[in-house]
């Protein structure tokens, strides 16, 4: 991580806007109970499938629940899954990648074969299988995503360790008598995380899409928990005359995922001096 990264990053106005948008959505998720005009599960059958107006600014769903309230609380679910699943993937991937890159030999072979085994399975079907084996919950989805998306981080860290372990500072640390654990976590890993953080931004976007897909397919959080995917799933039956049930969660998913992808793409360019 060099001090030139932020100046390079902010040259892209679109990336800065995406970063501000992500910060805003994170704040909305954190303050969901305070910002929500109604409870996400408050039923008002009299006003079911009511279009947007001054009271229900994004309309209501088939049970009369306020869509804006459910969207705000859905942001908390989507971002929690995105951040937590990516953090778990980072921890697992960094650990396996560090061990493989530092020790090489048999350890590298075992980790590489494990990565290949995980990659052999179609991602969505693997997640569906894990979720189906256990009771669907927020923890189940986060853990399932974390256990199936760590391979990219592991490969990045492994590659960086293979490069860094041959540099002078690594040899100096070893010659000074430092233990392997200290060399790995204090000297090498902090210098190997830059490309991993780029992958993490894309990972959050992927986790949000996957959680929405699981909820849309009925494998997400059980009702009446609000999520963007579950709102879209409900909209299938009323798409002809309740357009707001499709447009608002669809736009939220698209813009949030696009923002994380833009941030990751620009961050990758900022890390590459050749991009100047």
Q: What pLDDT score was predicted for residue 242?
A: 86
Asked if residue 9 belongs to a domain, the reply is no
Tokens coding 111: 């980790």
Tokens coding 228: 């963007």
Q: What pLDDT score was predicted for residue 46?
A: 86
Identify whether 205 is preceded by a cis peptide bond (ω within 30 of 0). Answer: no
**CATH number (domain holding residue 204):** 1.10.3720.10
Asked if residue 46 belongs to a domain, the reply is no
Going from the C-alpha of 184 to that of each of 92, 96, 116, 175, the distances in angstroms are 15, 12, 24, 14
| pTM (2 d.p.) | 0.89
Asked if residue 37 belongs to a domain, the reply is no
Each of the 276 residues of the chain gets a pLDDT tens digit; together they read 455 777 888 888 999 999 999 999 999 999 999 998 888 888 888 888 888 988 889 999 988 899 999 999 999 999 999 999 999 999 999 999 999 999 988 999 999 999 999 888 888 888 888 888 888 888 999 999 999 999 988 998 999 898 888 888 888 888 888 888 888 888 888 888 878 888 889 999 999 999 888 888 888 888 788 889 888 888 888 888 889 999 999 999 999 999 999 999 888 888 765 555
Q: What pLDDT score was predicted for residue 23?
A: 95
Residues in contact with 218: Cβ distance below 8 Å, sequence separation at least 6, in sequence order: 233
Rounded CA separation 48/157 (Å): 51
CB 23 within 8 A of CB 41: no
Q: What pLDDT score was predicted for residue 1?
A: 45
Best CA proximity match to 100, nearest among 145, 147, 160, 148: 160
Asked if residue 4 belongs to a domain, the reply is no
Asked if residue 1 belongs to a domain, the reply is no
Which stretches does DSSP call E strand in the chain? none
Give residue 200's domain range. Answer: 66-275
Domains of the chain: total: 1
Which stretches does DSSP call E strand in 39-147? none
Asked if residue 29 belongs to a domain, the reply is no
Compute how many other C-beta atoms are within 10 angstroms of the C-beta atom of residue 52.
16
Q: What pLDDT score was predicted for residue 223?
A: 78
Rounded CA separation 144/131 (Å): 7
Asked if residue 39 belongs to a domain, the reply is no
Q: What pLDDT score was predicted for residue 273?
A: 56
Residues in contact with 72: Cβ distance below 8 Å, sequence separation at least 6, in sequence order: 28, 29, 32, 35, 36, 40
In the three-class reduction of DSSP (H, G, I as helix; E, B as strand; rest coil), residue 140 is classed as helix
CB 245 within 8 A of CB 235: yes
Going from the C-alpha of 202 to that of each of 8, 105, 145, 198, the distances in angstroms are 19, 30, 13, 7
Residues in contact with 215: Cβ distance below 8 Å, sequence separation at least 6, in sequence order: 221, 227, 228, 229, 230, 232, 233
DSSP-assigned states of every residue in 152-208: HHHHHHHHHHHHHTTSHHHHHHHHTT--HHHIIIIIIHHHH-HHHHHHHHHHHHHHH
Asked if residue 87 belongs to a domain, the reply is yes
């Amino acid at each position: 991580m060099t001090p030139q990264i932020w100046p390079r990053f902010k040259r892209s106005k679109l990336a800065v806007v995406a970063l501000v948008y992500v910060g805003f959505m994170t704040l909305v998720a954190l303050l969901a109970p305070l910002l929500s005009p109604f409870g996400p599960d408050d039923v008002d059958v009299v006003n079911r499938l009511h279009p947007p107006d001054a009271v229900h600014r994004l309309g209501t769903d088939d049970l009369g629940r306020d869509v804006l309230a459910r969207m705000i609380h859905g942001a908390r679910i989507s971002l929690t899954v995105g951040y937590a699943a990516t953090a778990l993937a980072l921890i697992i991937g960094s650990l396996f990648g560090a061990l493989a890159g530092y020790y090489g030999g048999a350890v590298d072979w075992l980790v590489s074969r494990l990565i290949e085994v995980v990659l052999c399975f179609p991602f969505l079907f693997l997640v569906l299988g894990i979720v189906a084996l256990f009771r669907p919950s927020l923890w189940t989805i986060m853990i399932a995503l974390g256990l199936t998306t760590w391979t990219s981080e592991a490969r990045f860290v492994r590659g960086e360790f293979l490069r860094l372990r041959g540099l002078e500072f690594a040899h100096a640390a070893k010659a000074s008598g430092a233990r392997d654990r200290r060399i790995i976590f204090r000297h090498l890993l902090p210098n190997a995380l830059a490309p991993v953080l780029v992958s993490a931004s894309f990972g959050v976007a992927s986790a949000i899409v996957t959680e929405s897909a699981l909820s849309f397919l009925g494998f997400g959080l059980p009702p009446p928990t609000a999520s963007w995917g579950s709102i879209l799933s409900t909209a299938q039956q009323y798409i002809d005359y309740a357009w707001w049930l499709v447009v608002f969660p669809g736009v939220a998913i698209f813009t949030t995922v696009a923002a994380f992808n833009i941030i990751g793409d620009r961050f990758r360019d900022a890390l590459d001096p050749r991009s100047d």
